[in-house]
Amino acid sequence: MRKEVSLNIIRAIADAQKDLIVVFQENEPIFINKAFEKFFAVSSLEQYKQEFGTFVRNFVPHPSYFNAEGLEKGASWIDAILELDVMERVVSMVTPTYEPHAFSVAIQKVEEYAVVTFSDITQMLIKRIMIENNASLDAKSGAYAKNYFMQIAQSFQDAALFNKKLMSAVRIEAKKRDDSQVRDDEMLLKVLVHSFKSVIRQDDMLIRWEDNAFVVFYLVDNIANAQAMFEKLQLLSQKIESEEVECLLQRFMQKDNEKIKSFSTRIDLQEGAFGIFKLPS
């Protein structure tokens, strides 16, 4: 009775977690929590085994993630992934509706058992791809440098494609009302960056695009979400504006199958719009 109560407590704790938790015995799953069942749209471990087969087949064969490719026949994927650095223990799995997610993998081994926790890091994908260091930042403002962004732009595009997102951007040009240059006011540049960072998400990128202009790059599911971000930045800009400075915002939406190079060129040419988001023709 006491053992059964303990098992029920353990299950209740695991089911309360948002992470996907699987317990393996000699590489075979013997327990899955509610979050795992929800992700794969199954009601039990038995249903999961019947519909999905060998566990390692869940891992998308993509070069950015750990997967079954390269594993020797009969080799343990758990042992193989543990040989990687912690930051490289990342897999991608898809829902039954083919929505891809990225997960960091943590493993605790106890004799023949392994407790594996999959933490969803999909929204951190861009940050994982980027290598953050001082060279990536604009010294005066603290935003990302444009040349750094152009170096990792293809990864940004790949992340959008892989996660079935749309690229969107807002260009913010700051002007001083006395006709002096914003670029010469380092304190003002840092204040602007601090303000913009307060409303953007962790995985969005704030870039100093030109001397007096910034660009916020972000990924969205649809036009409505793109518009919501634009309106956040627009409201913030209105609060920032004073007798000293004013901000002009333009928004950009990825065209159908548009590449990052073309998208960036349109920002350079200021071919954006100032009102409600619409898909460009």
What is the C-alpha separation between 195 and 199, in angstroms, rounded?
A: 7
* 142 and 258 belong to one structural domain: yes
* 65 and 170 belong to one structural domain: no
State the sign of the Cα–Cα–Cα–Cα dihedral 142, 165, 230, 174.
Answer: positive
User: What's the CATH number where 231 sits?
Assistant: 3.30.70.270
Instruction: Please state the φ and ψ torsions of residue 172, each to the nearest 5 degrees.
Output: -120, 110
* 116 and 137 belong to one structural domain: no
Q: What distances in angstroms separate CA 236 from CA 126, 140, 177, 186, 225, one per listed residue?
A: 24, 21, 18, 20, 17
Tell me how many domains the chain contains.
Answer: 2
In a domain, 153, yes or no: yes
- SS3 category, 252: strand
**Residue 204 belongs to domain spanning:** 126-268
Q: What amino acid occupies position 274? A: F
Comparing CA positions, the residue from 132, 100, 101, 126 lying closest to residue 216 is 126
- SS3 category, 22: strand
Beta bridge partners of 207: 144, 215
* 137 and 98 belong to one structural domain: no
Cβ neighbours of 117 (radius 10 Å): 17
In a domain, 278, yes or no: no
* 113 and 133 belong to one structural domain: no
* 74 and 96 belong to one structural domain: yes
* 258 and 191 belong to one structural domain: yes
Per-residue pLDDT of the chain (281 residues; tens, 9 = 90+): 444 545 677 788 888 899 999 999 988 999 999 999 999 999 999 999 998 888 998 998 888 899 988 788 878 999 999 999 998 999 999 888 777 888 999 999 988 899 999 999 876 665 555 544 455 788 899 999 998 888 788 878 888 887 789 999 999 999 888 777 888 888 989 999 999 999 998 889 999 999 999 999 999 999 999 999 999 998 888 887 766 788 889 999 999 889 999 999 999 998 876 654 443 33
Say which residues have a Cβ less than 8 Å from residue 190's Cβ, sequence separation at least 6: 140, 141, 142
Beta bridge partners of 117: 21, 106
Cβ neighbours of 43 (radius 10 Å): 9
